[in-house]
Structure 1
Amino acid sequence: MEIKVIIADDHAIIREGLKSLLEKKGICVLDIAQNGREAVEKAIDLKPDVMLMDISMPDLNGVEATARIKKEVPFTKIIALSMHSSKTIIDKMFAAGASGYILKESAFSELYDAIQEVLKGNFYLTPVIARMYVDSNGHAFSSSDQIPQFNKISKKEREILQLIAEGEKTRDIAQKLGVSIKTIETHRRNIMKKLSIFNVAGLTKFAIKEGIIALE
């Protein structure tokens, strides 16, 4: 049975490289997405078996995109393919519904193995990350899904926070999300109040720390 995949990453060289490698293995690449919002739209439209999801993407990050895709297309398996090795970010990705997590420094053979595993209903963690979840006696640590401060803001507020941190103007955010400028301003005030951060520079720093956006 042919495996159907969508690749979501904001770097063209990674998208095209993965597409070529996957197709050589007989895997059908249905499409590619350049940001999280596009990834959600294409997943809903094309319903892939597997979505390869970068985390730090513009417009909508991989964590939020994963949560939306799993809600709309629950059978699609999502594998995070990221440079982030922070346990906090990994926990967020699995809490959103991902089935696998691989670092971009990994060999392609590992990604291929991960695709096979998640399609069997298993979870896959790249070995260097898996070691963070196991103590010296071989017992798995229990992981908290998300840190308390991150949980203070809603999914919609996290989406708006990302756009603010990426430098989007209030008018542009309102237009992109199909709401009024007043609504965005209200969300901005609520975000600042909940996080006790009262300037854009502080919000941007928080977004970087939480993996909502990345420093290029």
Structure 2
Amino acid sequence: MTGPRVLVADDHALVRSGIVALLDAADLEVVGEATTGREAVDAAARLHPDIVLMDIRMPDMDGIEATAKVTGQADPPRVLVLTTFDLDEYVYRALAAGASGFLLKDARPDRLVDAVRTVAAGEALLAPGLTRRLIERYLSLPPTPAPRSDLTPREQEIWMLIATGLSNAEIGGRLFLSEATVKAHITRLLAKLGLRDRVQAVVAAYESGLIRPGQA
């Protein structure tokens, strides 16, 4: 096995076994399974997976709290949240807790495999329109922000464009920059903000008031 190491956390045995079989068939290494949020946290600390597939509704400890605890560990794995409804009120909170993205449970099998590879590779699984709707629905209107003095005007501009859901290619087209240059700016931006990926950058943009609900 050369792919990312995966921990599958879901309390439904049939769902969990189906995911495990799918990942095994795609040459992704499943290092463990968990049936409760607490088990997921303990297993992540013990097994050191690259990525945790976390069901949002888990017994003992829900997927939101479990996600926060997992991403708070030393050298944490990335978390991909699985949810049944695309407007589940808990999805935003899971992203804010440190998840790198979310996926519907009824996604096509190849979509799930691609999502695991994408998130494990350090990218964020961000569906811009859906994520913006969640943020706009569950985030109260923030105050007008003061500009970040540690960000350059270009970094501030790119942060806002990330928050509106634009891809690197779209940002490059808007600003007449190459994708490589945009990626370099985003890497520096995330480092300055202390964030791991563009999902967290979107959440932080709304929380800081850089962009307001309805503006994206």
Range class of TM-score, shorter chain:
0.5 to 0.7
**1:19 maps to 2:20:** yes
Residues 129, 4 of structure 1: alpha-carbon distance in 2 compared, 3 angstrom cutoff: same
Note the 1:112-127 alignment, pairs <5 A.
Answer: 112-126=113-127
1:153 matched residue in structure 2: none
2:56 matched residue in structure 1: 55
Assess if the C-alpha contact under 8 Å between 1:10 and 1:33 holds in 2. Answer: yes
Assess if the C-alpha contact under 8 Å between 2:89 and 2:134 holds in 1. Answer: no
**Structure 1 residue 128: Cα displacement:** 7.1
1:186 matched residue in structure 2: none
**Structure 1 residue 102: Cα displacement:** 0.2
Question: How many aligned residue pairs are there?
Answer: 144
**Structure 1 residue 112: Cα displacement:** 1.2
1:72 matched residue in structure 2: 73
Provide the TM-score with structure 1 as the length reference. Answer: 0.59
**What value does the CA root-mean-square deviation take over the aligned residues?**
2.7
**1:132 maps to 2:157:** no
Identity rate of aligned residues, in percent?
35
Alpha-carbon distance in structure 2 between the residues aligned to 1:67 and 1:51:
12
**Structure 1 residue 129: Cα displacement:** 2.7
Assess if the C-alpha contact under 8 Å between 1:63 and 1:93 holds in 2. Answer: yes
Provide the TM-score with structure 2 as the length reference. Answer: 0.59
1:109 matched residue in structure 2: 110
Alpha-carbon distance in structure 2 between the residues aligned to 1:69 and 1:118:
15
Note the 1:193-208 alignment, pairs <5 A.
Answer: none
2:10 matched residue in structure 1: 9
2:30 matched residue in structure 1: 29
Alpha-carbon distance in structure 2 between the residues aligned to 1:120 and 1:75:
14
Residues 36, 133 of structure 1: alpha-carbon distance in 2 compared, 3 angstrom cutoff: closer
Question: 4+ residue stretches of structure 1 with deviation over 6 A?
Answer: none
Assess if the C-alpha contact under 8 Å between 1:66 and 1:96 holds in 2. Answer: yes
Alpha-carbon distance in structure 2 between the residues aligned to 1:73 and 1:115:
21
Assess if the C-alpha contact under 8 Å between 2:4 and 2:117 holds in 1. Answer: no
SS in 2 for 1:125: coil
SS in 2 for 1:72: coil
Could you list the runs of 5+ residues in structure 1 that have no partner in the other structure?
146-216
Per-residue Cα deviation, 1:172-207 (whole angstroms, up to 9, x for no partner): xxxxxxxxxxxxxxxxxxxxxxxxxxxxxxxxxxxx
Note the 1:44-193 alignment, pairs <5 A.
Answer: 44-86=45-87, 88-126=89-127, 129-130=130-131, 132=133, 139-140=164-165, 143-144=206-207
Residues 70, 112 of structure 1: alpha-carbon distance in 2 compared, 3 angstrom cutoff: same
Alpha-carbon distance in structure 1 between the residues aligned to 2:11 and 2:79:
17
**Structure 1 residue 77: Cα displacement:** 0.9
The one-letter code of the counterpart of 1:34 is: T
**Structure 1 residue 132: Cα displacement:** 3.2
Alpha-carbon distance in structure 1 between the residues aligned to 2:66 and 2:112:
20
Residues 39, 121 of structure 1: alpha-carbon distance in 2 compared, 3 angstrom cutoff: same
Assess if the C-alpha contact under 8 Å between 1:102 and 1:126 holds in 2. Answer: no
Residues 73, 83 of structure 1: alpha-carbon distance in 2 compared, 3 angstrom cutoff: farther
Alpha-carbon distance in structure 2 between the residues aligned to 1:132 and 1:10:
28
The one-letter code of the counterpart of 1:122 is: E
**Structure 1 residue 118: Cα displacement:** 1.4
The one-letter code of the counterpart of 2:105 is: K
Residues 19, 127 of structure 1: alpha-carbon distance in 2 compared, 3 angstrom cutoff: farther
